[in-house]
Structure 1
Amino acid sequence: MEREKLLEVKNLKQHFKIGRGRVVKAVDGISFDIYKGEVLGLVGESGCGKSTTGRTIIGLYDATDGDVVFKGENVHDKKSKADKLKFNRAMQMIFQDPYASLNPRMTVADIIAEGIDIHGLAKTKEDRMNRVYDLLETVGLTKEHASRYPHEFSGGQRQRIGIARALAVEPDFIIADEPISALDVSIQAQVVNLMKELQRDRDLTYLFIAHDLSMVKYISDRIGVMYQGHLVELATADRLYENPIHAYTKSLLSAIPLPDPEHERTRKRIVYESTSKGPVGRSDEDSSIPPLREVEPGHYVSLTDEEYEAYKAQLV
């Protein structure tokens, strides 16, 4: 049975002009698909372009080049107010900072109901509040929280409010932009478990952006690894861990600590040394990062011709 392709990202570029003629190539020609009902994790170090990718997909930034196709329609071609409203209802975002992403002057009820009001989803004030109460209970809060303000909540509770806000318009697709990085470690697993439960119960599709590979593996079906604005490896979560091929992926995996003192004493960190022409923020130089190649079904790696032939030779 062929899976339904919900999102197609084709050669997406996001370049920012800074200073006198300098160009930051934050995202520099990446392509991937996301299928209905799956979670695609996007990982990489800070500054690699993963958050910019998410913000460009949802339209917070206008793409420099490339296409974002959602449900068969190009996101950046939407011009009319009705088209934009339809798209904004279908695709929502959970932001990294649960402190900055909530308006401190609005009650929790008004924050969650903002999308409901914009899209006219509630018929009466009573219906509006009942929707808010249901959403609060869905994310593990209570209806008593509706009349409070964001400063009265912990970081984990605020992120739950942000999740409820995203769910309020009944979206098909959610971009979670490092939704747990600002939270205590003890709270992170609770939020990720909530997101997994919501995905299962509501048939949601996620782009889950993070830098913690171990947490991404836990929630994701497939994982894409970003480096300097490029995808360097893309595979199922299990296969990426079992058979990492790109040196940068191996470097990220080697940095994951395990709750095993003996393993930690002997763990060797792999340091990735790039052969590309410069870090993110390079000006007019073209990247030397090679394109993705399918080394096995569903497993894509950025390899030169020589590296690809050498990898195939190992399999013989």
Structure 2
Amino acid sequence: MNALEELRSGRLGEDFVKLLYRQLAVAAVRGQFPPPDGHGSWSMEAVLETAHDYLVDSTNYAGLTEIAARVEDEPGLRNYLTAALTNYLRAAGRRTTMGRLVRRLRDRLSEDDRFAWVPAGSPGAGNVMLSGQSSVPYGGPLAELAEAAAAVEVNVVRWRSSSKREGPLADTPALMAMSQAMLRKAQGSLSVPQLAEVMSRRLGVDPRSIPATIPVEDLGENLAVDMERHSSGRFDAHNLEVADALEVIFDELTEREILVLSALHEPIRIIADQTGMPVSTVGAVKQRVQLKLSTILREYHEADAETIAFAARDTARQHLGLDPV
């Protein structure tokens, strides 16, 4: 029973779980999502923890059932699953980042005499307000406060791309200035999550902008893939991403297209001489191969796409028993 058959049967067996781990690692590295709290990188433990969190959510399990009904084969399952996991990581990353922003705001607002907290028993209890100003809870749309936040000059704090820590998004004076501007606009009190929501839009909070630490550590023997076709065989997240891309590419190519791919760097006439195909045929096939490659590699970063394209050519040559370029 393969991964798709396991999913359709309602039993998440070994094949499906391996695929889930694998595509989770691929989605994490491709989207540059941060690893979960307590992990400096996307290690085996980080992948297992995140996969478990994904599966215990009943909403996600229902989504898997829907995927099983939609897809026709294993490549389709792999692609749908990667997309679903990417969306999950995006949402989880935003929740984590927003949570940190809320906690930081609460701490800084409590230390600043310009702000006060609405006391218990009053409307909007627990909200923050400007000292000496109205405590009436703001009832308008948050979008109307965005203009006030946008008018504040923000110094975004960024760590080095190699850092394992996440930057605090903005310095304290900017956060306090935005809070002050929004409360003036609201003419009343706001909850800290409301302040954070508007600020997140102003700051462009996107978990994908927080770099993950790569290469990722070995995910274990049970997740090993055959890397010898296109690399030295060292198993890390980058190689895993390349392997996944190559599977997608070769699922889409015919034998004739693989033949042309193996010499894609050569002019059409030379490919025709090497393959024995008519020049006109080579031209049409080469155009199809280039279109398929550009479509598949569109979602990758430019450097990764170039690496994958060269790996695809080399893999095609190995498939045909040809020497690497």
Alignment TM-score > 0.5, same fold: no
Structure of greater Rg: 2
TM-score scaled to structure 2, two decimals? Answer: 0.22
Ranked by relative contact order (alpha carbons within 8 Å, sequence separation 6 or more), the top structure is: 1
**Richer in strand (by share):** 1
**Richer in helix (by share):** 2
TM-score scaled to structure 1, two decimals? Answer: 0.23
